[in-house]
Amino acid sequence: MDIKFIDTKALYLQIYEQFRREILEGVYTAGQRLPPIRKLASDLGVARNTVEAAYRQLVQEGFVSSRTGSGYTVEDLNLNEELFSKSVDESIGAYSAHERQLIMSMQKPVCTYTYDFNYGNLEEDAFPSEVWRKLTSDALHSFEAGGASRYDDHQGDYLLRLNLVNHLRKSRGVRCFPEQVIIQAGTPAAIQSVMQLFDPAIDTVAMEEPGYQGARLAFEQCRFKITPCPIFHGSSLFIRSLARSGARLCFVTPSNQFPTGAILPMQARLQLLEWARVNEAYILEDDYCHEFRYSAHPVPSLQSLDTHHRVIYMGTFSTTFSPALRMSYVILPPELLGQWKEHFQLAHSSVPWFTQVVMRRFIEQGHWEKLVRRALMRNKQKYETLIAALQTYLGDKIALTENGAGLHVLVQTKDGRSQEELVELAGEQSVGVYETNRYWISSHPLKANHILVGFSSIKKADIEPGVQALKRAWFGE
Amino acid sequence: MDIKFIDTKALYLQIYEQFRREILEGVYTAGQRLPPIRKLASDLGVARNTVEAAYRQLVQEGFVSSRTGSGYTVEDLNLNEELFSKSVDESIGAYSAHERQLIMSMQKPVCTYTYDFNYGNLEEDAFPSEVWRKLTSDALHSFEAGGASRYDDHQGDYLLRLNLVNHLRKSRGVRCFPEQVIIQAGTPAAIQSVMQLFDPAIDTVAMEEPGYQGARLAFEQCRFKITPCPIFHGSSLFIRSLARSGARLCFVTPSNQFPTGAILPMQARLQLLEWARVNEAYILEDDYCHEFRYSAHPVPSLQSLDTHHRVIYMGTFSTTFSPALRMSYVILPPELLGQWKEHFQLAHSSVPWFTQVVMRRFIEQGHWEKLVRRALMRNKQKYETLIAALQTYLGDKIALTENGAGLHVLVQTKDGRSQEELVELAGEQSVGVYETNRYWISSHPLKANHILVGFSSIKKADIEPGVQALKRAWFGE
């Protein structure tokens, strides 16, 4: 392989693109091995990490498979290569060289680190494949398989909603009927749907500052004005700031504030509910990660305290089960439910029948509770390993923010280096840690210089060497 | 069973709700039979159709199964009935009687007719369950199963996009790269995503009048102003009206106008493309149903003629494969693609990994082409049966609008009765036909009084008796 590297583009991405092109054009064929990482790295004069990252990307996109002991092998794509090359050629005719460059240059780079402390993805083997396979099979052979040929109830499968209501009543104290539940394709989609019941020309949204940027993007895409309310320096400042905001809706993560990990105290909860009652406003409670509390019992939901029906409750299957399922749920209070039904009366659910009925069976048959228990144990061990490693290797050099819950911690170095610099240094040692700047709306003078260190996807065994690599990256050997 | 019927609510819905309550409360238990239709109808003093509709609703929602010869049997819901009744009781405490009524009264009624000429759903056995089951199993056992634990590329699975590009090039002449394809959770979701690239404060949308109401709703939810351009009286009026609209985007269904079935003539296609070029506007081509043309070859897509990259191409798996899959795709021209990537850089795909990789395998292994061929043959037979039955039984009493394509025809009676009246009369004979009023934005004086008669979900054997029942409903024995 021979590559003319371009300066402005990540090296691993250029290697990956060259391989992708050659596989699609048939230069590499099914079953063929890619060059060993060590050899290619030395041929190209790049770091082994760089080649490894390129190979991982190829694996992730399904071009190449990786099996222990036999290296990286090109997959059989079952494509008619001749047809494909023809397609590319014909397409080229339809686009100028400039346009073609425009299209190709924008492939989103995916970061692949040896030690990836990201927040959001889960471990490779976290998904209960065998049970899911069996339940899919059951559903497709059951009397209700006709559901695969129909547009669904726009709120989603009734019995799935019923199961959710039971589960959330027991685990979160949520009080509602299945008729109030709406199954949605992920949290951003859920927010966009709910925001149809508000008017961006009149209503504004208050958000925790810092806060979940996925929610912020969803509000912005619905063209709502957002008022950030600082949560970082305690809940009384937050409540005072909310009171001045004039907002019609307040987005909060009271069980585990994202990203600070703080729990909203009871007094602030009651003040928040009172604010909503007095102002005829609503609270959007995102209970995204309530399962993972390692040192105490989970806090009940805000919805369970809500006697005036001002809370919209939201949850997701992404953090516990699978982010690839794209399934979440919203529970609407009675008044909003009426508006929602009127607004969406001609709409269909945007969540596949398949995932809904299989998930329902998964919960019905007790797999859900087992999975949550297992995930809690697994994450607790990882959490303890991470805290111990950070204290052992970085103890006196960093300040740690954590709350015995969730799937990440926050780390500050004491030397005033910027987030950008720290993330870049870590990346050079193939350690993925993440900036928290994106969670802030304003460039607040009090903004803390936190780095997010997540442990949802990293394997337990990789945590200690990952923290050691982080130490090398930030503070040298 | 004893029911106090309320006057303002469909009878079948009241029967259905009573059974649902009693099943959930354990009055009816798993395995128990519901009363025979004939008997219950006579006990309650209602028509047999009414009881049948209630039972069907229970089957659709999974409370009851129906097997030939053994009637309607209560399903084992695997729920802890005691827990559930407790949950209901506890929830009741949280809601006043008025609120409870508000929540319960809004359950969306589902129409269930003996002869349902709806447009959209497919036949119960249309879905290739066995192959889907096998491919799901393959995907979950493959080296790429780790995809189930990750957030996906925000444009969707790369190899699925590659397969789509090949398929659309061959069947529709669409010219593009996989990099331009975005997998979406259905057409309305796709439109909402694309409309993020336009500004409702400045840009207006032009739509065919009459036109697809699902698209209209999506534009309205994004708060765009819509200018209806009449398509009913030929394409030159449409083009003139578009030219005056000042629109920045024009939504069209050129291969099979919905709901009139008209094909946009070549001259109008070129005028449309020229309009977009001159006005720096875009065309949103919804190629939703190109597979089903019974008397001629399909017309190539508008995108295939687009040398200036002003066409956004959209398609769906709903009409051929399954509306319950919730999967569609958008192909963006280069300039919009750049904007989309910038706008959605932090977003995730809202289509599950499962459905994407299984669908990719389905296409790769040749099942897709086979399924489309089979569906075409099946629909052609149903189309011919429907046309023949309408001519035999209603020939001189109606005017028929159809174009040898699609999954519905339009019918007008010659006696000036309203759509509402005709649909209601049909419903009384348990025949489902549908109003077309909803496809019009303006109350245009030239609006035609069409009734939609679809054949996507009705069985071929039911078409002739269905048309006979329609004759009885509209014109007596």
Q: What is the DSSP string of B372-385?
A: HHHHHHHHHHHHHH
Q: Is the distance from CB of B331 to CB of B181 less than 8 angstroms? A: yes
Where does residue B430 fall: left (phi above 0), alpha (psi -120 to 50 degrees), or beta otherwise? left
Mean pLDDT of A98-122: 75
Q: Which range, of A1-5, A189-193, B355-359, averages the lowest pLDDT?
A: A1-5
Is A81 in CB contact (< 8 Å) with chain B?
no
Does B8 touch chain A if contact means CB atoms closer than 8 Å?
A: no
Give the gap in angstroms from C-alpha B182 to the nearest C-alpha of chain A.
12
pTM > 0.90: yes or no = no
Whether the pLDDT of residue B160 is over 60: the answer is yes
Flag whether pLDDT at B447 surpasses 70.
Answer: no
In angstroms, what separates the C-alpha of A169 from chain B's closest C-alpha? 7
Contact status of B161 with chain A (Cβ, < 8 Å): no
Distance from CA of B46 to the nearest CA of A (A): 27
| Contact call for A324 and B148, based on CB within 8 A | yes
Residue of chain A minimizing CA distance to B86: A166
> Would you state the pLDDT for residue B449?
85
Identify the CA nearest to B407 among candidates B267, B269, B258: B258
Contact yes or no for A352 and B326 at CB 8 A? yes
Query: Nearest CA to B205 among B191, B192, B219, B193?
Result: B219
Cα of A370 vs its chain's centroid, Å:
22
Over the stretch B52-100, which tens digit does the pLDDT of each residue have? 888 877 776 667 888 777 789 887 765 544 434 444 445 555 677 777 7
- pLDDT reported for residue A142: 81
B84 contacts in chain A (CB < 8 Å)? 162, 166
Query: 3-state class of A209 per DSSP?
Result: strand
CA separation for the pair A425, B436 (Å, rounded): 63
Give contacts of A 243-302 with B, CB under 8 A: none
Beta bridge partners of B183: B329
Question: Which runs of E-coded beta strand occur in B181-237?
Answer: 181-184, 205-209, 226-230
Per residue in A22-45, pLDDT (tens digit) is 877 778 888 889 999 999 999 888
CB B144 within 8 A of CB B343: no
Which residue(s) pair with A71 in the sheet?
A67
Q: How far apart are the first and last CA of chain A?
A: 34
Q: Are B34 and B55 in contact (CB under 8 A)?
A: yes
Cα gap B229→B245, rounded to integer Å: 8
The band of A83, judged by pLDDT with boundaries at 50, 70 and 90, is very low
| pLDDT attached to residue A411 | 96
Structure tokens at B464: 């002739």
Query: In Å, how far are A390, B113, B252, B283, B403 from B261, measured between CA atoms?
Result: 66, 25, 12, 19, 6
What pLDDT shows up at residue A88?
A: 45
Partner residue opposite A108 with nearest CB, options B84, B150, B153: B153
Please list every residue in chain A whose beta carbon sits closer than 8 Å to the beta carbon of residue B455. none
Q: List chain A residues with CB under 8 Å of B147.
A: 60, 324
Q: In the 8-state DSSP scheme, what is residue A333?
A: -
B91–A176 C-beta distance less than 8 A:
yes
Q: Quick check: helix, strand or coil at residue B131? A: helix
Cα–Cα dist B121/B26, whole Å: 33
pLDDT for the residue numbered B94: 67
The contacts of residue B188 (CB under 8 Å, 6+ apart) are: A347, A348, A350, B214, B215, B217, B218, B221
Q: Give the helix ranges, DSSP H, for A365-459.
A: 367-394, 419-428
B354, amino acid identity = F
- Cα B322 to Cα B126: distance, rounded to the nearest angstrom: 8
Report the distance separating Cα B53 and Cα A67, nearest Å: 55
A60 close to B273: Cβ distance less than 8 angstroms: no
Rounded to whole angstroms, the Cα distance separating A202 from A219 reads 14
Average confidence score pLDDT of chain A: 87
Tell me the ipTM for this assembly.
0.78
What per-residue confidence (pLDDT) applies to A290? Answer: 83
Phi and psi (nearest 5°) for B334? -50, -45
Region B319-345 average pLDDT:
90
Chain A within 8 Å of B21 (Cβ-Cβ)? Answer: no
pLDDT at B250 over 50: yes
Q: For residue A240, give the H/E element and its range.
A: helix A235-245
For the four alpha carbons of B335, B338, B340 and B342, in that order, the dihedral sign comes to negative
Average pLDDT over residues A195-209: 96
Q: How many helices (H) and strands (E) does chain B have?
A: 16, 15
Closest approach of chain A CAs to the CA of B403, in angstroms?
A: 25
pLDDT score recorded for residue A85:
43
CB of A148 within 8 A of CB of B322?
Answer: yes
The residue-averaged pLDDT of A305-315 equals 93
Tell me which chain B residue has its CA closest to the CA of residue A341: B106
Residue B262 has pLDDT above 80, yes or no: yes
> Which of A48-57, A70-79, A342-351, B391-400 has the least mean pLDDT?
A70-79
Q: What is the mean pLDDT of residues B408-413?
A: 94
Question: B367: buried, middle or exposed (CB in 10 Å: 19+, 13-18, 0-12)?
Answer: middle
Distance (Å, whole) CA B254 – CA B300: 10
> CA-to-CA distance for B295 and B284, rounded, in angstroms?
26
Query: How many whole angstroms separate alpha carbon A198 and alpha carbon A250?
Result: 12
DSSP A137: H
